[in-house]
Amino acid sequence: MKRDTIDKAIARGAGGADGENYDEKTYEGYGTSGVAVLVKCLTDNVNRTVSEVRAAFNKQGGNLGTDGSVAYLFTHQGQILFSAETDEDELMEAALEAGADDVVAEDDGSFMVLTSFADYLSVKEGLAAAGFVGEGALTMEPSTKVELDTDGAGKILRLIDVLEDLDDVQDVYTNADISEEVMAQLEEA
């Protein structure tokens, strides 16, 4: 083996290689009970990542699908959360003026402002200018949800844990609907 080849391999392994490329990849599949799973990755080795994601699906009773097999079930959306102490009427007025799609009152009394992906930043800045600073995130919201029992919820949560433990995985989204009662049963077990 040439000394040049060895030096390049060492530089790559140490993270010192020039022109290192990272690719954004999205993998789609189904977990148990027909739950759609969307896995966002950032990788420097697509072959390694796809094999790791496929193995995670297979070991947890799921199937890795093809591009577009579940992506159509999700909408890229912005969500900004506000505490229960926030005045609902003032928040609603400021959110609509900033271009938000909706303001939803949660069960615990807090509020969630929903925006399109494209308007997220302008809505968040508009709300901040009006004096409302909340916790925001961009997420993939499922159009339909699959309600799970204790057994199905346990399997999907294990799949999510295995996927999130992979080095290249950035985010995992599902359309699983796990009730508080089912979560309580899982925590007891």
Q: What is the pLDDT of residues 19-40, one digit of tens each?
A: 568 889 999 999 999 999 999 9
DSSP helix/strand/coil, 163: helix
User: Quick check: 11 pLDDT over 90?
Assistant: no
Same CATH fold, 76-142 and 22-72+144-188?
yes
| 50 alpha carbon, distance to own chain's centre | 18
Is the pLDDT confidence value at 131 over 60? yes
Residue whose pair of structure tokens reads 């009970």 in the numeric block: 33
- Residue owning tokens 């102490």: 85
pLDDT band per the 50, 70, 90 thresholds, residue 189 = confident
Class of domain 22-72+144-188 as given by CATH: alpha beta
Q: Which of 55, 68, 35 is closest to 147 using CA atoms?
A: 35
> Is the model's pLDDT at 152 over the cut of 90?
yes
pLDDT at 2 over 70: no
Q: Which CATH class is domain 76-142?
A: alpha beta
Distance CA(117)–CA(82), nearest Å, equals 19
d(CA 144, CA 72): 11
Mean pLDDT of 154-170: 95
Query: What is the predicted pLDDT for the residue at 159?
Result: 96
Contacts of 183 (CB under 8 A, 6+ apart): 153
The pLDDT score that the predictor gives to residue 16 is 57
Taking the C-alpha atoms of residue 18 and residue 90, their distance in angstroms, rounded to an integer, is 52
Residue boundaries of the structural domains of the chain: 22-72+144-188, 76-142
> pLDDT digit string (tens) for 87-126?
999 999 999 999 999 999 998 899 999 999 999 999 999 9
